[in-house]
Amino acid sequence: SAKIAAIASVTGSMTPLTYNECDPDHPTPVLQIHGTTDGTVPYEGGAGWSESIPDVLDYWINHNNCDTEATVTPFEDIDSSDGSTAEHYLWNSGDNGVTTEHIKVTGGGHDWPGAWGNMDINASIEVWKFFMRFDINGNLDSSVNEVVEIDHERTLLKVVDILGRETREVKNQMLFYIFSDGTTEKIFFTE
């Protein structure tokens, strides 16, 4: 769709129908967060109603014309009691500067990391950071990428505009990032 700038999925996949009929009209950045022991939407597929996560990633890597080799970066195992670890896979250099990305939660189930299950990452923050980097035309200015770096010692609670309304719009306005440790950051984005 010409209205979808980026896609992020936590514990989801593509059905065989959507996989076979998907035909986006532009490069579309994708972030896939998935646990390897998910019994509801199996990582390796085989359920009959969902494609495997590696197949879904391959689809988007090819569609976006990304590098075929991923850069893999492990997340720090800050909570060894959760029984899982996380790695970030990044396929760069897609058309219009888009990426295909995967946070693989080894040992993770059908969970929302940071809320339950894996506690080494916060899926909500990872999705937000991902979405903030793109618009319908692809990768935004690199200054936006620098702004959204979030310290893992605190959690982003919400982003509000000058009137205190929660917002996702990031251009040409003052925004306030409100964190769990009581701090705020005031940011102004321009086009």
Residue 1 covered by a domain: no
Domain of residue 163 covers 153-191
Please name every residue paired with 166 in a beta bridge, in sequence order, or none if there are none: 160
Residues whose CB is less than 8 angstroms from the CB of residue 180 and which lie 6 or more positions away in sequence, other chains included: 154, 155, 156, 157
pLDDT of residue 15: 92
Instruction: Tell whether 102 is covered by a domain.
Output: yes
Could you read off the pLDDT of 26-78 as tens digits, one per residue? 999 999 999 999 999 999 998 889 999 999 999 999 999 999 999 999 999 99
- The gap from C-alpha 87 to its chain's centroid, in whole angstroms, comes to 13
84 and 128 co-located in one domain: yes
Q: Mark whether 68 and 146 lie in a shared domain.
A: yes
> Looking at the structure, do residues 164 and 145 belong to the same domain, yes or no?
no
**In terms of domains, do 91 and 31 share one?**
yes
Q: For Cα atoms 30, 170, 119, give the angle at the middle one, nearest 5 degrees.
A: 50
Residues 92 and 182 in one domain: no
Whether 2 maps to a domain, the answer reads no
Beta strands in 54-161 (DSSP E): 71-74, 85-91, 100-106, 134-135, 138-139, 156-161
Average pLDDT by stretches of 10, the chain with 191 residues? 89 93 94 97 92 98 97 95 97 95 98 92 92 86 44 73 75 76 72 61
Tokens at residue 137, please? 């035309």
Residues 187 and 140 in one domain: no
106 and 25, same domain (yes or no): yes
pTM listed for this prediction: 0.74
